[in-house]
Amino acid sequence: MTHPTFHTATPADIAAIAADIRPSDAEELRIGCWGLPPLTALANSVAISDHTIAAHLDATPVAIFGIRAHSLIDRTAIIWMIGTRTLDTTPRILARASRPCLRSLMATLPWAETFHNAFPTSHTHVRQWLAWLGAWFSTPILVTDPEHPETTIPFTPFTIGRQ
């Protein structure tokens, strides 16, 4: 079985992941990043993050994880992950490595107590993965689709506590 390897995300990782992005992640980026195309949205997300980790399977980039301080006052940070279609065919391999990866990201912001974000509610695979990581979920919120302002998409906020 292939084991993932991890390193700080590079421009080449960003380009490779954007070129083979999962449709669900492309939708999440499009809505969450004001309609930007995946490459631009992912590059911007990496640029504003405090730390990023690229996951590789057999030297091929398959995901980028990121963390960004949100508030020193309430000790929170934003976490995120964007992946390629390969993750849909090999979900267990990266899932098993997600916990150590998450701990590594959390260690970069030792003062943060909780880590949060939101995902499109229809993406049940994301909810299952986050629940496996120990997330708890809040009531979905409606987010306006930037390309169709008359449409709203439910997003489910989640929180993961420092473990």
pLDDT in tens, 50-92: 999 999 998 999 999 999 999 889 899 999 999 999 988 887 8
The pTM (predicted TM-score) of the whole model is 0.93
> Which pLDDT band holds residue 25 (cuts at 50, 70, 90)?
very high
Q: Taking residues 98-114, what's their average pLDDT? A: 93
Mean pLDDT of the chain: 93
Q: Is the sign of the CA dihedral 91, 96, 101, 103 positive or negative?
A: positive
Bridge partners of 109? none
Q: Taking residues 119-128, what's their average pLDDT? A: 93
- In this structure, what token pair is assigned to residue 26? 């492309």
Cβ pair 86, 21 in contact under 8 A: no
Q: Taking residues 95-100, what's their average pLDDT? A: 83
pLDDT for 87 = 86
Q: Taking residues 36-49, what's their average pLDDT? A: 96
Contacts of 26 (CB under 8 A, 6+ apart): 38
Could you tell me the fold of the domain covering 5-161?
Answer: Aminopeptidase (3.40.630)
pLDDT for 22 = 94
